[in-house]
Structure 1
Amino acid sequence: MNSLSGRTGFRILAYTSIALAGIGIVLPLLPTTPFVLLAAWSASKGSPACAAWLENHQTFGPAIENWRSRRAIPAKGKWLACL
């Protein structure tokens, strides 16, 4: 697999994960945070511009930063997921 097709696959995964995270904000049974984290990981591999956008996003950015620095999801996020 060459690097171009690999980057394209990561981009597709990132954009799909962002879409699912967006849907998860509205639908209570679809988790948002795992899709945001998957999008951040795959965007870092395939699309630096998308990764920068996610990291600087006011909603998604703090969750990504917490995961990277502490390997933890904030308690507020866990409570919201349970509700």
Structure 2
Amino acid sequence: MAAPVDLGEVSRHRTVRAAWLVVGFAAVALGGVGVVVPGLPTTVFFIIAAWAFSKSSPRFERWVLGLPGVGPMVRDHREGLGMPRRAKVLAITMIVVACTLSATLGFETWTPRLVVGLAGAVGVGWILLRVPTRETVLAARAR
């Protein structure tokens, strides 16, 4: 199991720790729903959960970091590695498919279709321009 990354101290106040635990478990719940609901992100919620648990419970932080499938992606994010190329392609494809289906089948007027299309374009742009590609980062570090 991976060791927690020091993202700050665990709060000394019991009520603050409890609040961070609630945030962490809410993020885990949303991430769990994202596993089965197309279009709802998964990894970002587990990144938030690990961050919240780093402020409240090192045990739950280790649990998130040790989850199969998601744990390695959360650790990669913390190390600044971004997303694997394959995951970026899949994420962009899912955004395009979900937005296209939503815009064409879910709405009859152009305004909501445009809003869905713009939201999808923002998501795709964010992934392309702001999220590093793991392979590119590793290649740059190897130099």
The count of aligned residue pairs is 82
Mapped pair 1:42 → 2:52: yes
TM-score, structure 1 normalization: 0.87
Largest Rg, 1 or 2: 2
CA RMSD between the two structures: 1.5
- Choose from 84, 91, 111 the match for 1:81: 91
Higher helix residue share? 1
Deviations 1:3-60 (A, max 9, x none): 1111001000000100100100111121111101100100111111110111111122
- Choose from 13, 17, 34 the match for 1:7: 17
**Whole-angstrom CA distance in 1 between matches of 2:18 and 2:63:** 18
- Specify which structure has the bigger relative contact order, considering alpha-carbon pairs within 8 angstroms and separated by 6 or more residues: 1
Mapped pair 1:27 → 2:27: no
For structure 1, which runs of at least 5 residues remain unmatched after alignment?
none
- Choose from 56, 62, 68 the match for 1:58: 68
